[in-house]
Amino acid sequence: MSALNDIKLRIEEKIKADGLDAKEVKGKIGLRSGKVLAFITASTPDDPEAIAKLKQAAKEVLNLSL
Amino acid sequence: MKWNSIRTKVLAALVACLVVGAGCILALMRYSFERNSQVLAAESVTGSQKLFTILEAREISKMTAVSEALITNPQVRDAFAAGDRTRLLELTAPLYLSFRKEGITNWMFHSPEPDMTVFLRLHNPPKFGDHLNRFMDKEVVRTHAMVSGNELAKAGFAVRILRPFRDLQGKVTGYVEFGEELGQFIHAMKNQTGNDYGLLLSKKYMDRQFWADSSAVWKRRDNWDDNPGFVVADKTTASDRIIRFDGDLAAVPGQGKVLERFQEGNSVFVRGIFPIHDAAGNTVGAMFVVRDISSFYLAMRRTANVLVILTVTALALGILLVLTLLTRLVFRRLEHITVVATRVVGGDYESEIQVTSDDEVGQFERLFEQFRRVFIDLTTHVPELQEKG
């Protein structure tokens, strides 16, 4: 199981729960973290730097602590 | 509004322009006022000096005409030739009353040289027999022709004419003198120009005791001690404060000098001074000129206010226009590009960037739209993404 994919799923849950515009929010997180969320899958290898950036972006955009 | 945004920077620059523009206008108006008040003061000094010269010449002409009529009067001529003071006074006293109304304040008969004393003083008959020994006395004796000019006596300053009186054989039997106190000129000058004037006399050429005595005779305050170097012989204003001069009268240049501008209550004045010379060419006094420039000052203030209001309004409208144009032509279109770019990264491949113009931002829109299409084309070739649908 990929940690990056876990984070992506948590983000998608949060977007759904808050009723937000998924494409806009995913776009903002993607631009801030430098990762296109659509490209993250269960087989995406974990990269500590990418994980940290994605968490930071989720915190800034959604105020979601991961 | 972000402090580091272009909008804020442009707004700050425009507001700075507005402040600088308003400041420049105020400074320009201030400079203009300073310059114009100097010009007005210089004009007042020059104009007053010319007017003084004209009045002086006119009064000399008048006294010359009067003396011409007098020396041809046989009764007066005979009484003077006979040295009959009582008869001469009888004949001339009624005339003196008329002359006084026309401004002639001094009228004297002088005995001939070598003695040359005052034979009869119409303006002060009991006083006679004294030697005056003035420049004009010496000149008329030397030339035996009419001399005229300003002469500062011990107690006053007058424009005078002095001419020989001859008997039927043409022999000089004495001299007649007419004079007008210069102090009365300033009232005529005020009537013509509206300026206020003060006649200053240098103490160097005056006698303290005579000034005190004449002050008592003319029922004026003895102002000898008011100023160190001069006395104010006459002035057209009740205020002593507006006539203020600390310099040396002898140092006032011939063409006059503009002094400072000053404010008293709601009124603004400019001061100037020009010298007055006696017949010998000495600077024995000066005319102090005070011009009220309050109306000019108020007009300048009103103009400045109108200009500032117009400038601020014009610049404020300019700021509004520039910001509106920037918003429509640049900021709003950049925001649209940002929104589309964000959505594309978020997976929205339907949003397009509309190229609305061929300007600089339009060229960027076109480039970004091309980039967006390349990006979407790339993503469609990622197999994982295709599987996700």
Q: Write the pLDDT tens digit of every residue in B49-98.
A: 999 999 999 999 999 999 999 998 999 999 998 999 999 999 999 999 99
**Structure tokens belonging to residue B255:** 């063409």
Give me the mean pLDDT over the B33-57 stretch: 89
In this model, does residue B42 exceed pLDDT 60? yes
- Residue range B176-194: mean pLDDT, rounded: 89
B interface with A, Cβ–Cβ below 8 Å: 339, 341-348, 379, 382, 384-385, 388
* Identity of the residue in A22, A36, A43 whose CB atom sits nearest the CB atom of B345: A36
Q: What is the pLDDT of residue B216?
A: 83
Q: Is the pLDDT of residue B1 over 70?
A: no
**Chain A residue with minimal CA distance to B388?**
A38
Three-class SS state of B313: helix
Mean per-residue pLDDT, B310-318: 89
Q: Write down the pLDDT at residue A28.
A: 94
3-state secondary structure B86-108: HHHHHHHHHHHHHHHHCCCCEEE
Given phi > 0 = left and psi -120 to 50 = alpha, else beta, which region is B153?
beta
Residues in chain B with CB shorter than 8 Å from the CB of A39 are 382, 384-385
Q: Supply the pLDDT for residue B297.
A: 84
| Per-residue tens of pLDDT for chain A, all 66 residues | 688 999 999 999 999 999 999 999 999 999 999 988 988 988 888 889 999 999 999 999 999 888
Query: Are the beta carbons of B342 and A38 separated by less than 8 Å?
Result: no
Q: How many CB atoms lie within 10 A of CB B312?
A: 15
CB contact under 8 A, B343 and A37: no
Cα separation of B55 and B181, whole Å?
A: 12
Mutation target vs A (from B335, B336, B342; most A CBs, 10 A cutoff): B342
Q: Of A9, A24, A28, A61, which to mutate for an interface test with B (greatest number of B Cβ within 10 Å)?
A: A24
Would you call B345 and A39 a contact, using CB atoms and an 8 Å cutoff? Answer: no
B346 to A24: CB separation less than 8 angstroms, yes or no: yes
The pLDDT of residue B247: 81
pLDDT at residue B161 greater than cutoff 50: yes
Residue A39 has its nearest CB partner, among B342, B344, B385, at: B385
In order, the DSSP letters of chain A are --HHHHHHHHHHHHHHHHT--HHHHHHHHHHHHT--GGG--TTSPP-HHHHHHHHHHHHHHH----
Residues of B in contact with A5 (CB under 8 A): none
Residue of A nearest to B378 (CA): A39
**Residue of chain B with shortest Cα separation from A23:** B346
Contact A37 B344 (CB under 8 A): no
* C-alpha to C-alpha distance for B83 and B120, rounded to whole angstroms: 10
> Which has more confidence, B139 or B387?
B139
* Residues β-bridged to residue B121: B108
Angle, vertex CA A42, rays to CA A40 and CA A43, nearest 5: 90
Is the model more confident about B143 or about B219?
A: B143
Per-residue model confidence (pLDDT) at position B389: 44
Rounded mean pLDDT of B158-184? 90
Greatest alpha-carbon span in chain B: 149
Residue B386 has pLDDT above 70, yes or no: no
Give which of B12, B33, B10, B26 is closest to B311, Cα–Cα.
Answer: B26
**pLDDT of B340-365, one tens digit each?**
999 999 988 888 888 888 899 999 99
Within a 10 A sphere around the Cβ of A31, how many other Cβ atoms? Answer: 18
pLDDT above 90 as % of chain B = 39
Q: At B387, is the pLDDT very low, low, confident or very high (cuts 50, 70, 90)? A: low
Provide the pLDDT for residue B384. 53
Chain B residues within an 8 Å CB radius of A36: 345, 379
Q: Which residues of A touch B388 (CB under 8 A)?
A: 38, 41
CA dihedral B144, B117, B95, B188 (to 10 degrees): 80
Q: Mean pLDDT in chain B?
A: 88
Looking at residue B379, its pLDDT comes to: 79
